[in-house]
Structure 1
Amino acid sequence: MGNRIGVVEDDVNIQNIVSAYLKKEGYDVIISDTAEAAWEIWETYPPDMWILDIMLPGMDGYEFCKKIRNESEVPIIIISAKDEEIDKILGLELGGDDYLTKPFSPRELVARVKRLFKRAFLKNNNEEPTQEKVKIDQLLINKEERRIFYKGEEYEVTTKEFDMLLLLVENVNRAFSREELLIKIWGDDYFGSDRAVDDLVKRLRKKLPDLPLETVWGFGYRLRYGEET
């Protein structure tokens, strides 16, 4: 059997359609009606990917996504009837890797599942060995544990916040355009607005107000250290 996919969805029709298409592609599928039931599965036999509805009875999809992200980088595809840009940004900022709006094509879902598994495989097998920790001034990043320390204090960050900060630290003083940041952090198959980048920067600045994360007007952002103003 192929990769194991957990589907968290309370609509029986969507459950059946998604399950049928995924099983046809060779995936092992397990269905949950609620996030609470899905969490029990996660603790006993965790899937290799989640397909997660937002509007669920009890614990909603956003909260479930946050809980998973506190423990793992497993790929998560969020599906929802909400189509506002802010909902997409929120879902991705909480750790979702992709977002589909209902009604969606089952074939499109399968295509995105394949892309995410391929990206995860390449990341796990083709990344060059890197130093475990990166330090600039009073900012320390533990890459293996995905932890951020600033001025001796640890800060909680989301998956995308960590990815952006690591990218900027490893390319200190380099200006990145919003488009570059979208591609490097969300992937080249992300079709959302570059508002997601601005929102991510805003969140980092709020958490780390003294961090020299600068706006390059009309272009993008950079982390500035060691250069004269």
Structure 2
Amino acid sequence: MKQGSGTPHTVLVVEDDPTINQALTDRLVAEGFTVVSAFDGPGAIAAYTEREPDLAILDVMLPGFDGLEVCRRIQVRRPIPVLMLTAKADETDVLIGLGVGADDYVLKPFRMREVVARVRALLRRVDRATELALTRGPELTVGDLVLHRGTRRVQVAAEDVHLTPLEFDLLAMLAEQPGTVRTREALMTEVWGWADARGTRTLDSHVKSLRAKVGPSRVRTVHGVGYALEQ
């Protein structure tokens, strides 16, 4: 349910295989979500614009233009959590997805309960991020790095840097305790809402994308433990 609204979250499902699309729709509706379906890139953008969903599930390979392009256009207009469906586990493909604003990915063939769990975790993260912005102060400063929680704006040396919603949340968690090593498990639980062995790869990929935007030396790896933000 949308926090404080009493209405179900709306999920946009974009999958060109009618059988998979219907199966996802049926399961999500059974779980209490409102579902909007699309089968290609242009249809996804049209549905997103008309219905303003709270989260999108995007297949990577779509007619018209692919799921990565759909994700990029969504995040430029109004960022929402995005779960990618992919048949490829190659890290390059994952990094491309994360770089355009995807929050997580599920490999095909997938279990419906895993998809539902990921969806719920991503929506909980949005609610937690809103609460943190209200309770932990509007701004974080670490050296020449400034995070504005209210507007989710990031500046490095007074220059604006565009981060995806999840990259912002990850950086904010590290910035709350600069110099302190945060374990992978703690980061996954706090930012994503879950932690498992496969999830650490998602985290590591996001860190790589984050470093490319704020500077490679800012986020220090502590091998076998986690990450720390340098002051």
Whether these two folds match at TM > 0.5 is yes
Task: Tell me which residue corresponds to 1:29.
Answer: 35
Query: With structure 2 as the length reference, what TM-score do the two structures score?
Result: 0.80
Gaps of 5+ in 1: none
Q: Distance in 2 between matches of 1:122 and 1:214?
A: 25
CA 111–58 in structure 1, closer or farther in 2 if over 3 Å, else same = same
Query: Contact between 2:94 and 2:205, CA under 8 Å: does it hold in 1?
Result: no
Q: Displacement, 1:82?
A: 1.9
- In the other structure, the counterpart of 2:162 is 156
CA drift of 1:55 comes to 0.4
Unpaired runs of at least 5, structure 2: 1-6
8 Å CA contact 1:54–1:79 kept in 2: the answer is yes
Seen in structure 2, the aligned counterparts of structure 1 residues 192 and 90 have a Cα distance that, compared at 3 Å, is: farther
8 Å CA contact 2:185–2:195 kept in 1: the answer is no
> Which residue is 1:129 aligned to?
135
Aligned CA RMSD, in angstroms, stands at 2.9
- 1:20 maps to what in 2? 26
Secondary structure of 2:135's partner? Answer: coil
Q: Secondary structure at the match of 2:83?
A: strand
Change in 2 beyond 3 A, CA 1:112/1:217: closer
What is the CA–CA distance in structure 2 between the aligned matches of 1:196 and 1:57, rounded to whole Å? 26
**How far off its partner does 1:73 sit?**
4.2
Q: 2:147 aligns with which of 141, 150, 155?
A: 141
Aligned AA for 1:80? T
What is the Cα deviation at residue 92 of structure 1?
Answer: 4.1
Separation of aligned partners in 2, 1:210 and 1:14: 39
**Measured at CA, do residues 102 and 45 of structure 1 come closer, stay the same or move farther in structure 2, by a change above 3 Å?**
same
Contact 1:98-1:190 within 8 A present in 2 as well:
no
- Of the two, which has the highest radius of gyration? 1
Cross-structure match for 1:175: 181
Q: Please tell me the residue identity of whatever aligns with 1:57.
A: P
Q: How many residues align?
A: 225
Seq. identity, % = 34
After superposition, give the CA deviation of every residue in 1:143-189 in whole Å (9 maximum; x if it has no partner): 12211111121122233332232222211121223333333333324
Contact 1:65 1:95 in 2 (8 A): yes
